[in-house]
Amino acid sequence: MVGQYFKRKRYFVEIFIQSSLGIGIAVMSPFLSWKCLSIGGLAYN
């Protein structure tokens, strides 16, 4: 799907999208864990 919109720079766009997903997972995981602990929900220690 990305290749349809970015034919010339497809490689760089795909790298950007994949790295954004990885960064999002890395940031949201501790954040959600912290939020669950702060509201007294599930706690995995």
Q: Specify the pLDDT at position 18.
A: 86
- The per-residue pLDDT for range 17-44, each reduced to its tens digit, is 888 888 888 889 888 888 888 887 665 5
Beta carbons of 5 and 12 less than 8 angstroms apart: no
What are the domain boundaries of the chain? 2-38
pTM surpassing 0.75? no
Compute the distance between CA of residue 23 and CA of residue 8 in angstroms, rounded to an integer: 25
Q: Specify the pLDDT at position 17.
A: 86
Compute the distance between CA of residue 43 and CA of residue 45 in angstroms, rounded to an integer: 6
